[in-house]
């Protein structure tokens, strides 16, 4: 069965000049003085109207603009921003010496919420991942620094925030919270309009149709159900909006199918999928260091490839459980595959860490695992009372780090198991096997 690579692999390959053949590409535009404006193609969008509140919800709209695409674009553009990031990347030369180089990237975002303090902008996780600085350009061309509020790598979603106190009166009068549609009601063949910061040149508009719904796209770490469109998705569109003929956001532009023999296959995260994730990020409170939560497992990402090869569910394979830990007390066992955290899908240890970062010690959470039973995997819900990270055993707290990221470690190219502890530290076992 042919597997199509999703965003992360393509992004890595583009930056280092390794991309080739047929793949799914994201739509972030990345460049630096060493890389000659390498284009990475990938994008996802999320947005829901939150007027003076931090709760997103779908709004069904059936009215179409009398001015057609131009009228829709005019109404949506005040809700779209360009996002520019700076990162520091470590590279190795032909002599094995490592060095750091500055890089920059461009993507898009959607204004999804506003409260008394901040403007909240939804974008893709890959747009802002590892960013040392983030800035946004609003519809009036004004530029402001922004802060990453939170991320969810499993869904490739993120939220950045800009304090209202920083925004001028002119900027405030030229921007607005996006109107969110209902992606469940979208019909195949309906018009779709993609709006984003293509190639980092500024906002552009492309038009097409919804080609398919619930299209399963297998990625590096998981499989996602996405909207398929033939509206052109270009580098820099990541985090931009896919809207319907009324101007309501129905998806977050996320990826395109890249091959010389294929045209017109772009994908977007359905807005109904994105909303609860964005809400969790927007509403999350900062957790102090002494309140940080602890679960007590070590696990391995079960990617779509591994799931097929080992006949396992996609998720996090629990390779060990610390005795007496919250996970142990809740009945989580070695060999379980964690698939949900607080009712939301989780497929990677990074994703689990991001969700746990929104909780604090003492919180009660539901964790769904799949456990082998006579050759079949059955779902079991475990009620966990999270412990305090500072109380975690030293062996767990200080696991060795071999310097590989989750995407690299699980690629099957370095013989490492890609094992993590629940504190976000990497601890590959270097024995060349996937599971302990």
Q: What secondary structure does DSSP assign to 187-245, as a single string?
A: -TT-EEEEEE-GGGSS-EEEEEEEEEEEEEEE-SS-EEEEEEE-S---TT-TT-EEE-T
Asked whether residue 432 is assigned to any structural domain, the reply reads: no
Query: Quick one: 247 and 302 in the same domain?
Result: no
Annotated catalytic residue 204: no
Q: 220 pLDDT band (50/70/90 cuts)?
A: low
Query: Quick one: 254 and 379 in the same domain?
Result: no
Asked whether residue 255 is assigned to any structural domain, the reply reads: yes
Q: 44 pLDDT band (50/70/90 cuts)?
A: very low
Which of the following is catalytic: 211, 238, 319, 399? 238
Residue 390 sits in a domain whose CATH number is 2.30.42.10
Residue 160 sits in a domain whose CATH number is 2.40.10.120
Asked whether residue 32 is assigned to any structural domain, the reply reads: yes
- State mean pLDDT over 88-114: 86
Annotated catalytic residue 126: yes
CA dist 300 → 120, 217, 313, 407, 416 (Å)? 33, 21, 12, 12, 10
Asked whether residue 431 is assigned to any structural domain, the reply reads: no
Which of the following is catalytic: 58, 126, 153, 411? 126
The pLDDT score that the predictor gives to residue 358 is 83
Over the stretch 292-323, which tens digit does the pLDDT of each residue have?
888 999 999 998 888 888 888 999 999 999 99
Query: Quick one: 208 and 142 in the same domain?
Result: yes
Query: Quick one: 300 and 397 in the same domain?
Result: yes
Asked whether residue 188 is assigned to any structural domain, the reply reads: yes
Over the stretch 192-217, which tens digit does the pLDDT of each residue have?
999 988 776 778 899 999 999 988 87
Please say if the pLDDT value at position 48 is more than 50.
no
The pLDDT score that the predictor gives to residue 389 is 84
Considering the chain, what percentage of its residues have pLDDT values greater than 90?
42
Question: Of 239, 259, 284, which residue sits at a domain end?
Answer: 284
Give how many domains the chain has, as a whole number.
2
Query: Quick one: 268 and 320 in the same domain?
Result: no
Question: Of 284, 310, 333, which residue sits at a domain end?
Answer: 284
Annotated catalytic residue 156: yes
**Where in the sequence is the domain holding 129, given as residue range(s)?**
1-284
The pLDDT score that the predictor gives to residue 429 is 34
Asked whether residue 429 is assigned to any structural domain, the reply reads: no
Query: Quick one: 167 and 262 in the same domain?
Result: yes
Specify the residue for token string 């069904």.
Answer: 60
The pLDDT score that the predictor gives to residue 187 is 95
Average of per-residue pLDDT values in the chain: 76
Question: Of 252, 284, 316, which residue sits at a domain end?
Answer: 284
Query: Quick one: 245 and 123 in the same domain?
Result: yes
Q: 379 pLDDT band (50/70/90 cuts)?
A: very high
Which of the following is catalytic: 152, 154, 156, 421? 156
Q: pTM for the full model? A: 0.70
The pLDDT score that the predictor gives to residue 54 is 40
Residue 187 tokens read as 């019909």
Query: Quick one: 229 and 298 in the same domain?
Result: no
Which of the residue ranges 59-73, 113-127, 225-239 has the most confident prediction, judged by mean pLDDT? 113-127
Query: Quick one: 377 and 364 in the same domain?
Result: yes
Query: Quick one: 299 and 415 in the same domain?
Result: yes
Cα of 137 vs its chain's centroid, Å: 21
């Amino acid at each position: 069965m042919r597997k199509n690579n999703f965003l992360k692999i393509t992004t890595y390959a583009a930056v280092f000049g390794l991309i080739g053949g047929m793949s799914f590409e994201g739509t972030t535009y990345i460049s630096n003085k060493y890389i000659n404006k390498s284009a990475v193609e990938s994008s996802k969008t999320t947005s829901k109207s939150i007027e003076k509140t931090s709760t997103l919800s779908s709004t069904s709209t059936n009215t179409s603009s009398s001015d057609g695409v131009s009228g829709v674009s005019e109404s949506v553009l005040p809700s779209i921003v360009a996002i520019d990031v700076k990162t520091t990347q470590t590279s190795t030369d032909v002599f094995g010496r490592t060095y750091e180089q500055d890089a920059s990237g461009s993507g898009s975002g959607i204004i999804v919420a506003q409260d008394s303090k901040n403007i909240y902008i939804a974008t893709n996780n890959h747009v802002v991942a590892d960013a040392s600085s983030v800035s946004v350009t609003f519809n009036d061309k004004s530029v402001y620094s922004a802060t990453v509020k939170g991320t969810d790598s499993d869904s490739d979603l993120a939220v950045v925030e800009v304090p209202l106190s920083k925004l001028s009166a002119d900027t405030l009068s030229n921007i607005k919270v996006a109107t969110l549609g209902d992606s469940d009601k979208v019909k195949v063949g309906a018009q779709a309009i993609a709006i984003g910061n293509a190639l980092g040149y500024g906002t552009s508009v492309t038009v097409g149709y919804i080609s398919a719904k619930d299209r399963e796209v297998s990625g590096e770490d998981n499989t996602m159900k996405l909207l398929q469109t033939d509206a052109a998705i270009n580098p820099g569109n990541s985090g931009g909006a896919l809207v319907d003929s009324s101007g309501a956001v129905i998806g977050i532009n996320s990826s395109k199918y890249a091959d010389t023999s294929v045209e017109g296959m772009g994908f977007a995260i359905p807005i109904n999928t994105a909303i609860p994730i964005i809400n969790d990020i927007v509403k999350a409170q900062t957790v102090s260091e002494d309140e940080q939560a602890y679960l007590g497992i070590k696990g391995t990402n079960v990617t779509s490839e591994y799931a097929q090869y080992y006949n396992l569910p996609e998720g996090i394979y629990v390779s060990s459980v610390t005795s007496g830990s919250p996970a142990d007390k809740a009945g989580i066992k070695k060999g379980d595959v964690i698939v949900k955290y607080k009712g939301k899908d989780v497929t990677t240890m990074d994703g689990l860490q991001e969700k746990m970062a929104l909780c604090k010690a003492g919180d009660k959470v539901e964790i769904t695992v799949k456990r082998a039973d006579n050759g079949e995997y059955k779902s079991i819900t475990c009620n966990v009372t999270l412990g305090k990270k500072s109380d975690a055993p030293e062996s767990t707290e200080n696991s060795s780090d071999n310097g590989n990221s989750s995407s690299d470690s699980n690629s099957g190219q370095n013989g490492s198991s890609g094992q993590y502890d629940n504190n976000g530290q990497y601890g590959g076992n270097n024995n060349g096997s996937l599971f302990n």
